[in-house]
Chains A and B, each alone.
Chain A
Amino acid sequence: MVRLVGMAVGLLFVFVLSWAALAPREAAEPDPIKLLHKHPREVSFPHSGPFGTFDRAQLQRGFAVYKQVCSACHGLYHIHFRNLEQIGFSEAEVKAIAAEYEVPTIDPNTGEATTRPAIPSDKWPRPFPNETAARAANNNAYPPDLSLIIKARKDGEAYVYSLLTGYGEEPPAGFEVPEGLNYNPYFHSVNIAMVQPLMDDQIEYADGTRATVDQMAKDVTAFLRWAAEPELERRRRAGIATLAFLAILTVLAWLTYRRVWAGVQH
């Protein structure tokens, strides 16, 4: 009985699916955007690979790029000022950086909204109070928060690096870049609202490194990788210890197994 009902149901599904599979398809138009879209370029860092560690000097340079260029529009919402100690700033330096920013607070005497200088335990202040304000100030485009951007995009680092260095290409003849947008083949729609953010020698690095577009793009990408995965170095160290421990345990378990089963046919 089960088999008969099952076969009937099976034949029904097969019939419906054959009908669907045999139904004619409209030939799909190739999407011109897709043809222009480019895969991100490979980029490598001192922290790439399973045993890599961050280069603190590079992270600090990247932070400088973020602070002087990106932070005008892009937030770093999940980062607290105190986190900057992890990339090699001293406690005093972190306090000084924090004090440059104002964060909202309540006046203890009047109860009215006001601001105070930030302290290390504060979160990085948002450049715009909300998404509507951000869109209003940016030609209706929303500059995404950058603290998770490396994890929130496919090919994380390669994508951000390629996007930052992907300006300047001429769109193919006949391709109209809409008003107010910029051509960048690494962006998903190849038309991005952000104007080219980096120019050669736009900022001056404290360590004397020459601030080329490529250098700045690399540095800020490294910094954003840290911002997205501050636990990266600890995670890898713990991982090596765990794998080493488990490898030994596996060998011991295998020896135990061989002993227990010695002479038993199975």
Chain B
Amino acid sequence: MSFPWAEQYEPKHPLMKWIDSRLPLPRLVFNAVGAGYPVPRNINIWYNFGVLAGVALMIQIITGVVLAMHYSAHVSTAFNSIEHIMRDVNSGWLIRYLHMNGASFFFIVVYVHIFRGLYYGSYKAPREVVWMLGVVILLLMMATAFMGYVLPWGQMSFWGAQVITSLFSAIPLVGEPIRQWLVGGFAPDNATITRFFSLHYILPFVILGVVILKIWALHIPGSTNPTGVDVKGPQDTLPFHPYFTAKDFVGLCVYLLAFAAVVFFLPNSLGHPDNYIPANPLSTPAHIVPEWYLLPFYAILRAFTVDLFFIQAKLWGVIAMFSSILLLLFLPWLDSSKVRSNAYRPLYRIFFWILVVDVLILGYIGAMPAEEPYVRIGQIATMYYFAHFLIILPVVSAIEKPLPLPNSIAEAVLAKAKPVLAPASAPAGAVQPAE
């Protein structure tokens, strides 16, 4: 770790010394999330969401392993085995509702985490790899969530599988063979459900592996902070434990309160009623929508309605949908501004909040039927999404004149401590809902 002033692990108990000299696991924990990891002292509540994402992943893995003990991956029994879990397995309803809503909460937390990263420039040097690993995790999460949604083999499961795998048939020449290879047949069937179950079980552990890499990469430069100024010395940081363990624990409690409220009182509010109807390959639901967390991407997919430059509208949509995520990989190089935090970027900050609203609009459009005026609104919102990252961001970062930065984190903190001289920017910019 690259903080010379970080506390060193010194085992006192003979047993701990014995272990440390043979398997330095306590040392690893101490340096990763203990007193040996210095964290900028001014990070705010939005920096809590990384830890929450880790907790959400663990909840999914534990409840998922339990569900797999009772689930049966076969077209003729999958739906009934879910009802068996809901009705007969001891506390099965609780575990399934935790898993089902846990996925939604995982995405809520990760989306907040991503926008926090965008606002405070967490993707910039020297944290590009941390950011890119995050994008990889997002892609893996989407694949895992999609395949998990197929497993109950309800109407939305089946037709979701049909629609998503059909995306690949848009690829010229090899598209249809790829689609058949993915589903293992001419339409989603038993081969699909068994392979999706296998992958749905293993991918979370792949995610866990990437998470470990990401935390490793993060610990080289350490966290960013609301000022975006580099940590310069011990006066800028506090040890992770006890300061941030205590702080994150409060956030975790609040998160669990919200999670429990939904799991126990509104367990089906984030799902779709049609998925309580067993899959029927002969009848498509009137209105197919993906789970809410994929809606913005679904809106982008549907925004392309005309064939142009010898490319079919369908293929445009598929290309755009994948591009909308993959472009995040290039974000560290699309943004050339030397200033990380949006608290000191008055111009780009405006566009940041437009982007937030834009993505919310895309989510809304994704849930609406393909009718006017929704189609046109979706097209304009999609236009802004791409323009934001590919045109506005590079241009703004070149022409913008950032506000003066504080010399150090400690200086910013001390300035804030004086009641009147609070800079209007630092944490306030993050808390207020819109500019």
Contact residues, A131-181 vs B (CB, 8 A): 144, 147-148, 151-154, 156
Is B23 part of the binding interface, using a Cβ–Cβ cutoff of 8 Å? no
- A13 and B334 in contact (CB under 8 A), knowing A6-B389, A257-B250? no
B69 sits at the interface (CB 8 A): no
Give the chain B neighbours of A235 by CB distance below 8 A: 93-94, 97, 264, 267
Ranked 3 nearest A-B pairs via Cβ: A239-B264, A10-B390, A152-B276
Q: B55 → chain A, closest Cβ, in Å?
A: 14
- B16 is an interface residue with CB less than 8 A from chain A: no
Contact A261 B382 (CB under 8 A): no
B124 CB to nearest chain A CB (Å): 14
Find out whether the CB atom of B308 lies under 8 angstroms from the CB atom of A238: no
Q: Contacts A21-B380, A25-B372, A235-B94: A260 and B264 contacting too (C-beta < 8 A)? A: no
A68 to chain B, nearest CB (A): 24
Question: Does B83 reach chain A (CB closer than 8 Å)?
Answer: yes
A72 sits at the interface (CB 8 A) = no
CB neighbours of B267 from chain A (8 A): 235
- CB pairs A–B below 8 angstroms (16 shown): A6-B394, A9-B323, A10-B386, A13-B320, A16-B306, A20-B313, A28-B371, A78-B83, A148-B276, A188-B286, A240-B264, A242-B260, A253-B252, A256-B246, A260-B242, A266-B42
Asked if B62 CB lies within 8 Å of chain A CBs, one says no
**Chain A residues, Cβ within 8 Å of B257:** 243, 246-247, 250
How many chain B residues touch the partner (CB < 8 A)? 66
Give 1 or 0 for each of A240-266: 1 = CB within 8 Å of chain B CB. Answer: 101100110110011011001100111
Please give, as numbers and ranges, the residues of chain A lying within 8 Å of B253 by CB-CB distance: 246, 249-250, 253
B246 close to A261 (CB less than 8 A): yes
Known: A7-B390, A188-B286, A257-B249. A266 touches B94 (CB 8 A): no
Asked if B247 and A257 make an inter-chain contact with CB atoms under 8 angstroms apart, the answer reads yes
Nearest-Cβ distance from residue B165 to partner chain A, whole angstroms: 24
Number of residue pairs A-B, CB distance < 8 angstroms: 160
Residues 106-146 of A contacting B (Cβ, < 8 Å): 144
Instruction: Tell yes or no: A206 within 8 A of B by CB.
Output: no
B308 touching A236 by the CB < 8 A rule?
Answer: no
Q: Please, how many residues of chain A have a CB less than 8 angstroms from a CB on the other chain?
A: 54
B245-278 Cβ-contact flags toward A at 8 Å (1 or 0)? 0110110111011001101110110000110110
Residues of A within 8 A of B (CB): 2-3, 6-7, 9-11, 13-14, 16-21, 23, 25, 28, 50, 78, 83, 144, 147-148, 151-154, 156, 188, 228, 230-231, 234-236, 238-240, 242-243, 246-247, 249-250, 253-254, 256-257, 260-261, 264-266
B376 and A21 within 8 A (CB)? yes
| A11 B264 Cβ-Cβ under 8 A | no
Given the interface contacts A13-B320, A235-B93, does A2 sit within 8 Å of B333 by beta carbon? Answer: yes
Additional 6 contacts, C-beta under 8 A, given A6-B389, A16-B308: A7-B394, A9-B390, A25-B375, A28-B371, A257-B249, A260-B242
Is B276 touching A266 in the complex (CB atoms < 8 A)?
Answer: no
Cβ of B390 and Cβ of A13 under 8 Å apart?
A: yes
Known: A238-B94, A257-B249. A264 touches B238 (CB 8 A): yes
Q: Does B70 contact A (CB under 8 A)?
A: no
